[in-house]
Structure 1
């Protein structure tokens, strides 16, 4: 694997969608105003590996599967943790293959981390349908059905997380002693010290309790960071463009034969 040179490594896990990866994710890292290294872990997909081999300046690793390996948060956690152990940059960020960053995403996160002396810093996000339309419906997109989604959306507006008529989500991490506190950060928003991630890696073994509560690896990472007292700050900038359709908001995920929450 070629040596990486900047102080931030971006880790992407990808499987079976090279067109989206090369159209959104890879250009987004290349447009950053602060240089970053980008390590792409190809999850048992020779076709994607072949496409990346022809892409200039892309560092990638092909990860094979055993018969027991399935897509889902457990598999993603194992690959992200493996990648964090391979690099040596002081900072690590994560970008899913179907999402994008605005050009100053990493720069604003570094500025926020420096100002606060934080070891973990996050942004906010703009939410889009998979086809690129802004999500403007008064429905919380990570809900089981529309009725629940409308109720949750009203609550998120009350708490200042969502804004009617805008597709921005103001993710934040409130202190544990705040009533109605919000503690919600998507993986794509984080910039974390590598040594923190090595000490508090993504949870690799998920249970039926996590599945029932739709608690993914990003939820569990945040809980571990908060419980460990890691200093967390925010750029307060919606610099992630988040596209719906992943397993956390795909109501048809049970139809995917390669998917398992645990």
Structure 2
């Protein structure tokens, strides 16, 4: 379809200006397009040169090769980025699943009958509640932290007659395969001096020697456990009564 469709007599009137280069750019384009498509006007114009539109130059083989090479590089980079992203997402999914089933879910089961407690500032809600005379607390592991959770059992302060006495407390670390029980005992050495001890026991409250302690320290911890055995048994009973079915 023609862009301009002017009568031949109008084009002939414009030819003198066109031939002298005195017409506007738009008029020049109108005349040239008409002359290219009108044989009669070309004959009337005689030897007036008619510009012929030339096709844009074709790129050389080297330029074509460079363009193809650039496209291939972009394609390879895109595929590489997509592959890396997919591998990362798959790895993150597997890691998240492993963390959920081995670290988070065991503590979530312990917390089923306790109340949410955000006072400890964990990313995931902590939980707390009472079991007879004992205060129970669950610290949920943060995301992808495989060793951050624990359960704690303490004698409620309402049942401690001496406000200066620190009764033993128990920490429980649980996974799908095993459960570890840690006992914290604080001994008063003087008027305002205290020493804390951490020792490990099995569910029957038998002392488990630590490889990090000397023989003398292990013996001292064993004696401390004997001194507080009944209190530790109370902590263990509260934990077993509440969570026994979930403690491997």
Per the shorter chain, which TM-score range?
A: under 0.3
Per the normalisation by structure 1, the TM-score is 0.23
Greater radius of gyration (CA): 2
Per the normalisation by structure 2, the TM-score is 0.23
More helix by share: 2
